[in-house]
Amino acid sequence: MPLALREAEKSTPYRSWKAEDWTASDDRSFLECHNSTGRFHGNLDIQTLGGAGFASQRTTGEDRSWDLSAYAGIVLDIAEADDKRYTFILKDELLPRNPDNGREQATISWEYDFKPCFGESSLEKGGLVFVPWSGLKPTYRGKEKEHADPINLKTIKRMSIMMRSFFGDQEGPFSLTLRSISAATSSPVEPGRLEQGAARSAASNTNRWTWYRQSFTVSCIIAVAHLRARFACDCTILRTSQQFASSLISSPSKELKGRTE
């Protein structure tokens, strides 16, 4: 699996995609590995389970571990995609298999849902999806886990790509082609190339709020400047009046002095 730890100003070369780095968690998905891309595809059948269902590919090897504590999140570099929603998953803990049935014991999964977005000018280049650590949602056996301990980024044990029905919202053939999965110290995703859905709306609202905030700040600065200038002017007039009055009291003019005499 071409996982490269991308630094702030440079990136290390990606390794080739290898089939032995991945395995299916079901019998409905496949991962076609080429030198520069990995294609996650299959058919999501939800009729058997009454609207539920998922298809997933995960990394192999229970002794693998990635230290991602120095990074801000994961970048998925997507070459091609359909119009479906996918889920990227991390695990920081793997338990021994159940001795009674040999099945893997459940642990907390950290999930991030995304839907790749390709603009007219970026279709050939593909798209980038940034997965910030703060965007990961803890789940246990498919349900959101409340009061979960923070994810241990020093010992990431497994990564997965999943296609699921989202309670009957999507089904049928799916296809997602990735160039790479990498860790990044900051988001390389431009606002116009974010994935669709909440992330795009949040980015739009953030940009709009930033514009309003900046405009309000500039207006406040201008208003304060005017007030300061006016206040300084008023103070100058007041000081001048006071000085003139003081001069009249302490040093009367000859004309006034002559009249008093």
Instruction: List the CATH number of the domain containing 84.
Output: 2.60.120.430
- Same structural domain, 192 and 217: no
Query: What is the number of other CB atoms lying within 10 angstroms of the CB of residue 112?
Result: 22
Same domain, 81 and 166: yes
In angstroms, rounded to a whole number, what is the distance separating the alpha carbons of residues 35 and 38?
Answer: 8
- CB-count exposure of residue 182 (10 Å: 0-12, 13-18, 19+): buried
How far is it, in rounded angstroms, from Cα 17 to Cα 21?
8
Q: How far is CA 145 from the centre of its chain?
A: 20
For residue 67, is it within any domain?
A: yes
Residues 176 and 47 occupy one common structural domain = yes
Asked whether residue 142 falls in the same domain as residue 77, the answer is yes
Q: How much is the pTM? A: 0.66
Q: Are residues 108 and 34 in the same domain?
A: yes
Position 71 scores a pLDDT of: 95
Is residue 205, in this structure, part of any structural domain at all? no
Could you tell me if residue 201 is inside a domain?
A: no
Q: What's the pLDDT score for residue 187?
A: 82
User: pLDDT tens track of the chain, all 261 residues?
Assistant: 445 444 333 344 446 899 999 999 876 899 999 889 999 999 988 776 565 678 999 999 888 899 999 999 999 999 999 989 999 999 999 999 899 998 889 999 999 999 987 654 443 345 889 999 999 999 998 889 999 999 999 999 999 999 988 876 788 899 999 999 999 988 876 544 444 333 333 343 344 344 334 434 434 444 444 445 455 545 444 454 455 444 444 444 443 334 333
Amino acid, res. 8: A
Handedness of CA 32, 6, 74, 205 (dihedral sign): negative
Is residue 203 included in any domain, yes or no?
no
Q: Which residues of 58-78 are buried (b: 16+ CB within 10 A; e: fewer)?
A: bbeeeeeebebeebbbbbbbb
pLDDT at position 52 is 65
Interval 20-39: pLDDT, tens: 999 998 768 999 998 899 99
What is the pLDDT at residue 26? 79
Shared domain check, 141 and 226: no
Of 196, 220, 244, at which residue does a domain stop?
A: 196
Place of tokens 């040999």: 102
161 and 231 fall within a common domain: no
Residue 80 lies in a domain: yes
Q: Do 83 and 148 lie in a common domain?
A: yes
What is the pLDDT at residue 28? 80
Q: 149 and 51, same structural domain?
A: yes
Structural domain tally of the chain?
2
8 Å CB contact between 203 and 96:
no
Residue 139 lies in domain = 3-196
Looking at residue 69, its pLDDT comes to: 95
Question: Looking at the structure, do residues 237 and 139 belong to the same domain, yes or no?
Answer: no
Domain finish residue from 156, 171, 196: 196
| Model pLDDT, residue 118 | 60
Give the per-residue pLDDT at 49.
Answer: 59
Residue 215 included in any domain: yes
